[in-house]
């Protein structure tokens, strides 16, 4: 059984890599040549007679999206991100494409489906076979998505997703603005056009058969050259079909004619010794005229130095004349096949530089060479030499900008996950747990809540006395004083917050606005305060603060960099009814359990039994420990034991210097939120010193 499971896992991941790499390659070659993909989509639209109804802008957008989606799906599959969703999308994609390629194979309306752009040419039957294999692989991936191990943890997957989408969209945009970084077509830089047109000696020639349709005495018949009849028959039509394949040179449709069709100048252009500029525009009707000034400057430069300049197009005389009118073009125009021009360069217009019939430079109209009347001859410029940018250097750039960052991310993520695994193993060790519990590294805090007591002068005097005493005596715990709003800014000026933290007793549930009398979290933070008390029983009882109001206050406090002392606790009636656990859990769920784990680390819980505040009743140390342990357990249920172990939980029910040592000795009580006893320095110091 185990062996079978391992075998299936190996097969699933083999399919994963095959499908992922295929989609990455297919998507990338489409994405970096969006115009080439657009031309192929236009071929499909013409086959189904929809080309007149779909604009080029829509087709271009679809071509960019198609390449981007394929690339992103491949990367997501490779890294096993959103495994169920991605395998479903891949299965849907292949379920659509496989029947489509079967139709192409049977009917052959288009010779090349364009699935790998110009990088790899497949026959329609080869494409169908490839899709059958990919479909079978995606079915297996769809059935067993969880058999693919992740390369990146879930928490960091968003980085890969967003970086991949940004990378592929930027790649497409740059290819549209300039030219594709990789040129798989026969007119690439370094290609000699004349040699690309040659047929090797002894190469097999394609065979064609021409059929003639003739008519005589109202009767029509088909004839071949072998049985062509006498002159009494009238010619109607003819058709030529290829009967046997043969060698077809990479360049087989390149020709240049004058606009009136009277002269073919192909040989004179390709046989010219030296440099020639060739401006290419399949259609001047849709060509960009944004940079015509730079084109005219290059034409003037070519005249000054005796370099031929040709403008090749498939446009009508009307379109050529319109281009002349709007740009002032003085160069000569020649006719070349539209498909050929689209193959030569992915820009409209674009510029070629030939030397002895070899392409040594190609530029988009957005990235033309800086040549004008001040420039030296081409022999003395970088433009007149073959570029040094090799395929290897281009691949290296892709590795540098995309693959290397992802590899580093994967390595860092796996290292982080391994360290997490080590920590989990340590946590699972009972001895380690016991030692950690004994050591108890949670922060111990004694916080004073002055409530609505003391004027500004008395408050400053008390704060100064505490600041001086604690600076000299170095407490064994964290100390916080939470004062009325009017005290905050004044006390913050002289308080050493490395010794005593400063906090507010409340803040508003609104960020800003027409709320007379309210004080926002931003205002509290601006005074120099670090903490704020929220959810105090007096605010809940006297001012009807609901869990929803408190939830908003907590979020605003955290947003403005404040740490929250969040109060919970039950009334006397609730305690006597045995509902204390239910009450504190509901208060946490209503206002702070919506936070993320990282946000919750800025929460200090203060348990205040309302029934033990000003009632004459006192919670025993055991009662306090019992509810504190319960609070820690429900935090562990929500965020995990590690977060629960690090959460400081204070006791806030009539804590004095006399009972503080017994309370603080309990393992789940981490200090106190002190009311009346915090208004006198001696009383407050007595509680602080309980930690000693």
Would you list which residues are annotated within the binding site?
Answer: 449-451, 614, 654, 675-676
**End-to-end CA, the chain:** 61
Q: Is the peptide bond before 349 cis (omega within 30 degrees of 0)?
A: yes
- Cα separation, 476 vs 681, in Å, equals 17
Q: Is 272 marked active-site?
A: no
Helix axis angle, 456-473 relative to 681-688, nearest 10°?
Answer: 40
User: How much of the chain is in helix, strand and coil states, percent to nearest 5?
Assistant: 50, 15, 35
Among 470, 445, 477, which Cα is nearest to 672's?
A: 445
Out of 536, 570, 587, 628, which one is annotated catalytic? 536
Kindly state the tokens that stand for 333. 């125009």
- Cα separation, 553 vs 541, in Å, equals 17
- 388 vs 79, 189, 277, 383, 507, CA distance in Å? 35, 11, 20, 11, 65
- Cα separation, 354 vs 340, in Å, equals 16
The H or E element that residue 650 is part of is strand 649-651
Out of 545, 574, 608, 625, which one is annotated catalytic? 608
Q: Is the peptide bond before 448 cis (omega within 30 degrees of 0)?
A: no
Residue showing tokens 């507010």: 504
Residue showing tokens 């590294």: 441
- 349 vs 95, 260, 288, 346, 594, CA distance in Å? 39, 22, 7, 9, 57
Decide if 85 contacts 101 (C-beta within 8 A).
no
- Cα separation, 529 vs 501, in Å, equals 8
> Could you tell me which residues are annotated as the binding site for substrate?
449-451, 614, 654, 675-676
In DSSP notation, 149-196 reads --SS-GGGHHHHHHHHHHHHHHHHHHHHHS--SS--STT-TT-BHHHH
Q: Is 608 marked active-site?
A: yes
- Cα separation, 258 vs 265, in Å, equals 7
Beta strands in 53-165 (DSSP E): none
- Cα separation, 358 vs 509, in Å, equals 73
- The residues carrying an active-site annotation are 536, 608
């Amino acid at each position: 059984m185990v062996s079978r499971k391992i075998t299936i896992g190996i097969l699933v991941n083999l399919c994963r890599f095959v499908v992922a790499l295929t989609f990455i390659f297919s998507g990338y070659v489409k994405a970096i040549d969006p115009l080439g993909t657009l031309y192929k989509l236009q071929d499909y639209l013409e086959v189904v007679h929809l080309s007149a109804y779909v604009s080029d802008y829509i087709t271009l957008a679809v071509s960019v999206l198609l390449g981007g989606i394929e690339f992103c799906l491949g990367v997501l599959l490779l890294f096993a991100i959103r495994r169920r969703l991605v395998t479903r999308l891949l299965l849907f994609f292949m379920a659509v494409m496989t029947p489509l390629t079967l139709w192409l194979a049977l009917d052959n309306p288009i010779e090349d489906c364009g699935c790998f752009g110009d990088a790899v040419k497949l026959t329609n039957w080869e494409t169908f076979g490839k899709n059958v294999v990919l479909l079978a692989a995606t079915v297996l991936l769809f059935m067993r998505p969880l058999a693919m191990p992740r390369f990146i943890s879930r928490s960091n997957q968003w980085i890969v997703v967003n970086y991949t989408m940004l990378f592929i969209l930027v790649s497409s945009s740059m290819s549209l603005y300039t030219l594709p970084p990789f040129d798989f077509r026969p007119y690439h830089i370094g290609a000699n056009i004349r040699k690309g047109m040659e047929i090797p000696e002894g190469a097999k020639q394609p065979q064609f058969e021409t059929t003639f349709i003739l008519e005589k005495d109202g009767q029509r018949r088909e004839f071949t050259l072998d049985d062509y009849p006498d002159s009494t028959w009238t010619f109607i039509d003819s058709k030529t079909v290829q009967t046997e394949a043969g060698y077809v040179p990479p360049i087989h449709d390149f020709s240049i004619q004058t606009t009136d069709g009277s002269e073919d100048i192909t040989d004179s252009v390709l046989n010219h010794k030296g440099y020639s500029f060739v401006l290419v525009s399949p259609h001047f009707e849709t060509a960009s005229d944004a940079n015509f000034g730079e084109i005219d400057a290059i034409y003037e430069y070519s005249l000054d130095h005796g370099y031929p300049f040709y403008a090749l197009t498939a446009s009508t005389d009307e379109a050529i004349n319109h281009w002349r009118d709007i740009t002032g073009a003085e160069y000569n125009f020649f006719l070349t096949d539209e498909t050929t021009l689209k193959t030569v360069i992915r820009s409209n217009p674009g510029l070629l530089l030939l030397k002895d019939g070899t392409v040594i430079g190609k530029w988009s109209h957005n990235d033309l060479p800086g040549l004008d009347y001040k420039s030296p001859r081409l022999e003395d410029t970088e433009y007149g030499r073959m570029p040094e940018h090799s395929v290897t250097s281009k691949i290296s750039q892709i590795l540098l900008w995309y693959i290397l960052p992802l590899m580093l991310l994967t390595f860092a993520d796996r290292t982080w996950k391994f360290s997490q695994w080590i920590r989990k193993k340590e946590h699972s060790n009972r001895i380690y747990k016991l030692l950690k519990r004994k050591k108890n590294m949670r922060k111990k805090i004694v916080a004073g809540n002055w409530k609505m007591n003391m004027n500004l002068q008395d408050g400053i005097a008390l704060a100064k006395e505490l600041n001086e005493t604690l600076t000299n005596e170095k407490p064994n715990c964290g100390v916080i004083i939470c004062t009325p709003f009017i005290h905050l800014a004044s006390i913050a000026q002289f308080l050493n917050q490395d010794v005593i933290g400063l906090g507010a007793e409340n803040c508003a549930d609104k960020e800003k606005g027409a709320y007379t009398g309210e004080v926002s979290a931003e205002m509290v933070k601006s005074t120099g305060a670090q903490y704020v008390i929220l959810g105090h029983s007096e605010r809940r009882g006297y001012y009807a603060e609901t869990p929803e109001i408190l939830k908003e206050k907590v979020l605003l406090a955290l947003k403005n960099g404040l740490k929250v002392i969040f109060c919970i606790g039950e009334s006397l009636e609730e305690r006597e009814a045995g509902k204390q656990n239910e009450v504190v859990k509901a208060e946490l769920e209503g206002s702070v359990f919506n936070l993320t784990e990282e946000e919750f680390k800025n929460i200090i819980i203060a348990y205040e039994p309302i029934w033990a505040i000003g009632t004459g009743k006192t919670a025993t140390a055991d009662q306090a420990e019992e509810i504190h342990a319960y609070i820690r357990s429900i935090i562990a249920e929500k965020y995990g034991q590690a977060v629960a172990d690090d959460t400081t939980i204070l006791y806030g029910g009539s804590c004095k210097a006399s009972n503080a040592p017994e309370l603080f000795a309990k393992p789940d009580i981490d200090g106190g939120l002190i009311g009346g006893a915090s208004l006198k320095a001696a009383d407050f110091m007595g509680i602080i010193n309980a930690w000693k």
